[in-house]
Structure 1
């Protein structure tokens, strides 16, 4: 799933390619992905792209007076295409291709895709960004100068005994952090993902520093990369996320995982839990 650093880099890359160009048409191949019906997608035709922005994990393309907003969810992605698109293959809604933004005059543009069978990609065409469900509920952006340690402490204090992993991922608390970077932030801070969010001031300071270091480091690595290179860079930059069974680069212990119904977290026992192996409910059920 693309998170704040990747979406930020997409804004830079796609903005450089699209701003100033004119839309020929917007083709929707997965009708389930389009969450709005008014204005119609035909309203984009002949309109100029005025800007590309980010709201948490949402991409916002300002086209004329309209906003074409996308949330790429777990398996969505955007690819820049030079020249006319090839014919779409497969039945509508069944292939990975969900939509195409085609530009004038050479038919270059964007291919919006989603892998897998579980389709969660969401596309909105609205007059105002606030009309998009989810954007109005977003918490503060962690890269905003206004997101201070004091603001962060208030968020953690309000969460009380809730597990810190979930608090970091909750978009109403902090916008843009998902499963991968919450794992990385907690590893850098040497904290268990199950630690209560309400913590001592020195721990808040450590976690805030880890959050800023992790996100800004990922942002720096992604800076200037094309959309086609971002997935690879994200994977290479991870220390524990997605590296179950591998060696922790900090201490040499084996990276472990905990599997939930819809997601998996990774952590290092030595760095984060005092050597304790966290209970994996899925594994526990298999052993019964």
Structure 2
């Protein structure tokens, strides 16, 4: 799923291309994409773009007349920019937004249609779509700590909760926790002040560094948005060496999500129980990284 760094770069590039341009036509190619009926989507046509914004993991096109097109890419949704008149890709295209300068195409890989499009009227209606998580790049340590202490959950769950923190998902939470040298299953209310401060600094550093990196790599448009980047330390690198200590990266698999971590850097060498594999192996499940190295 595109997270804060990816969405920020989408917003920046799109703003440079369409601010002040007119949205000439919206074509909905999949009926499940559009989640609002009022105002009708046709009302967005003919309106000028007054800005492009980020709302959590959503891309927002602000139109004249106090209208807002809200695009949520979910897991497999992506945005493409085509020259004016170019044909959009086949079955994966869900919608096209035609401007004088070119066409924005919303695509989604696979068969599960999770991406969504809303058209809302008024800043209040847009604000109602905000889950409420704080922006980690503008908030301070006190606000960050308060959010962590609001509920007693694992660090992984809290960091990826959009009601607590804005724009952090599965991929960058792994990178943040590795940078902070903290276990993904540590409970938030068991954290010491120095651990909270370390997590705060790691969160800001990881999000800033990755936004800068993706911005530099994007060129005219970010065509290769992915949750698995070769420069990541642990996310998507199960079995590969940790760039800090060289131990093989470990994982916890739960439903569609996978948490990657370094046992030596983050858990004192302890291997965390995987809900599938550890239950299968039971007594044979290794307890320490030294048991498998």
TM-score, with length taken from structure 2: 0.89
Structure-to-structure mapping, 1:13-52, within 5 angstroms: 13-52=13-52
Q: Alpha-carbon deviation of 1:64? A: 1.7
User: Larger deviation: 95-104 or 72-81?
Assistant: 95-104
Partner of 1:189 in structure 2? 180
Structure 2: distance between partners of 1:154 and 1:29: 43
Q: Alpha-carbon deviation of 1:206? A: 0.7
User: Are 2:270 and 1:279 aligned?
Assistant: no
Partner of 2:240 in structure 1? 246
Task: Spell out, residue by residue over 1:120-165, the C-alpha distance to the aligned partner (whole angstroms, 9 max, x if none).
Answer: 1010011135435973322111112xx11111111122223x1111
Q: 2:253 aligns with which of 243, 255, 259?
A: 259
User: Larger deviation: 252-261 or 124-133?
Assistant: 124-133
Question: What is the total number of aligned residue pairs between the two structures?
Answer: 278
Q: Alpha-carbon deviation of 1:85? A: 3.3
Partner secondary structure for residue 258 of structure 1:
strand
Structure-to-structure mapping, 1:60-99, within 5 angstroms: 60-65=60-65, 66-86=67-87, 89=90, 95-99=91-95
Structure 1: distance between partners of 2:128 and 2:181: 31
Cα gap change, 1:77/1:258 in structure 2, threshold over 3 Å: closer, same or farther? same
Contact 1:35 1:124 in 2 (8 A): yes
Cα gap change, 1:278/1:250 in structure 2, threshold over 3 Å: closer, same or farther? same
User: Are 2:127 and 1:127 aligned?
Assistant: no
Task: Spell out, residue by residue over 1:76-134, the C-alpha distance to the aligned partner (whole angstroms, 9 max, x if none).
Answer: 00001012132664xxxxx2111000113x6x210100111221101001113543597
Partner of 1:92 in structure 2? none
Q: 1:180 aligns with which of 171, 178, 183?
A: 171
Cα gap change, 1:32/1:130 in structure 2, threshold over 3 Å: closer, same or farther? farther
Partner secondary structure for residue 259 of structure 1:
strand
Partner secondary structure for residue 229 of structure 2:
helix
Cα gap change, 1:134/1:268 in structure 2, threshold over 3 Å: closer, same or farther? farther
Task: Spell out, residue by residue over 1:184-214, the C-alpha distance to the aligned partner (whole angstroms, 9 max, x if none).
Answer: 0000001110001121111111111111111
Q: Which has the higher contact order (CA 8 A, sep 6+)?
A: 1
Q: Which runs of 5+ in 1 are unaligned?
A: 90-94
Q: Alpha-carbon deviation of 1:234? A: 6.5
Contact 2:93 2:106 in 1 (8 A): yes
User: Are 2:112 and 1:118 aligned?
Assistant: yes
Cα gap change, 1:211/1:246 in structure 2, threshold over 3 Å: closer, same or farther? same
Structure 2: distance between partners of 1:88 and 1:207: 41
Partner of 1:170 in structure 2? 161
Contact 1:129 1:135 in 2 (8 A): no
Structure-to-structure mapping, 1:152-171, within 5 angstroms: 152-160=144-152, 162-171=153-162
Q: Alpha-carbon deviation of 1:42? A: 1.3
Partner secondary structure for residue 52 of structure 2:
strand
TM-score, with length taken from structure 1: 0.91
Aligned Cα root-mean-square deviation (Å): 1.9
